[in-house]
């Protein structure tokens, strides 16, 4: 999930409600270079990862995950909307039974700039207590959103909790957050396609492209 770093004084605790609001986020410098919606429609640039490169890496990740969870039930929690394509491909490639939940992490809504809040909606994540949980997201940069997701899920006492992302902008990390399964590590470019969007555009692209 593309994230915004919290301003000084932002709260760190959570209660056990289903709706989590993390207020007063500031834009990261890299996100400040995001083009307008009008410019995006004219500036789709090179393909970063092709359909075949995506398919091959998903298969490789599924092999690792299948081995790690052999003999254990697996509950997958997908972070909507961006990880929809990745999650669907991944759980099919696992070729084993899984249960599926979802949560919504939103800071952009239908804009190219943050509205200033990250909101987590967890009503559909499923019962994670005493279960082996794998959170699947499209992309991680600063790490703030995944760190908050981890804090929320740990409050529900899963047996184990791991994270898989397809893209990792590790050089943008602002909190100490390690991802267990990473598709590709990329530099600080804004990318769309394969579920990734800019103001809700271009999720449908089957490759990942730079804008």
CA 11 to chain centroid, in Å, comes to 22
Question: Whose structure tokens read 């994670």?
Answer: 128
| Cα–Cα distance measured from residue 22 to residue 14, given in angstroms and rounded to the nearest whole number | 9
Q: Which residue has the higher pLDDT, 208 or 122?
A: 208
Which backbone phi and psi does 162 adopt, to 5 degrees? -130, 165
Mean pLDDT: which of 22-31, 93-102, 145-154 is highest?
93-102
**Cα distances (Å, whole numbers) of residue 94 to 24, 74, 124, 186:** 39, 11, 22, 25
CA 145, 89, 71, 135: dihedral to nearest 10 degrees? 10
β-bridge mates for residue 181, sequence order: 164
Does the structure show a pLDDT above 70 at 99?
A: yes
Tell me the pLDDT of the chain averaged across its residues. 81
| pLDDT tens-place string over residues 69-80 | 999 999 999 999
pTM for the whole structure: 0.78
Does the structure show a pLDDT above 60 at 91?
A: yes
| pLDDT tens-place string over residues 3-19 | 434 434 443 333 333 44
Instruction: Locate the DSSP E strands across the chain.
Output: 5-6, 19-22, 25-26, 47-49, 75-80, 99-106, 118-121, 132-140, 160-168, 181-185, 191-192, 208-210
Does the structure show a pLDDT above 70 at 195?
A: yes
Catalytic residues: 141
Exposed, middle or buried: residue 203 (CB in 10 Å: 0-12, 13-18, 19+)? Answer: middle
**Per-residue tokens: 120:** 């987590």
Packing angle, helices 84-94 and 51-68, rounded to 10: 60
β-bridge mates for residue 63, sequence order: none
**Cα distances (Å, whole numbers) of residue 175 to 112, 144, 166, 198:** 23, 7, 19, 24
What percentage of the chain carries pLDDT values higher than 70? 74
State the pLDDT at residue 1.
61
Task: Tell me what the mean pLDDT of segment 67-91 comes to.
Answer: 96
The confidence band for 117, taking pLDDT boundaries of 50, 70 and 90, is: low
Q: Name the residue among 68, 75, 91, 78 with its Cα closest to residue 131.
A: 75
**Per-residue tokens: 175:** 């909190």
């Amino acid at each position: 999930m593309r994230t915004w770093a919290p301003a000084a004084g932002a709260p760190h605790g959570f209660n056990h409600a289903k709706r989590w609001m993390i207020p007063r986020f500031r834009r990261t410098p890299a996100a400040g270079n995001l083009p307008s919606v009008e410019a995006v429609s004219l500036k789709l640039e090179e393909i970063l990862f092709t359909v075949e490169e995506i398919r091959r890496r998903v298969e490789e990740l599924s092999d690792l995950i299948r081995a790690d969870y052999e003999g254990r039930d697996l509950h997958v929690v997908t972070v909507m909307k961006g990880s929809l394509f990745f999650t669907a491909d991944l759980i099919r490639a696992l070729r084993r039974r899984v249960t599926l939940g979802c949560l919504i992490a939103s800071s952009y809504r239908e804009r190219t700039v943050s509205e200033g809040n990250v909101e987590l909606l967890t009503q559909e994540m499923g019962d994670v207590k005493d279960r082996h949980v794998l959170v699947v997201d499209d992309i991680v940069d600063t790490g703030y959103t995944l760190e908050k997701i981890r804090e929320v899920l740990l409050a529900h006492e899963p047996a184990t909790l791991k994270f898989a992302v397809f893209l990792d902008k590790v050089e943008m990390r602002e909190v100490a957050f390690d991802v267990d399964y990473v598709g590709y590590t990329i530099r600080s470019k804004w990318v769309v396609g394969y579920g990734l969007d800019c103001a809700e555009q271009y999720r449908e692209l089957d490759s990942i492209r730079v804008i």
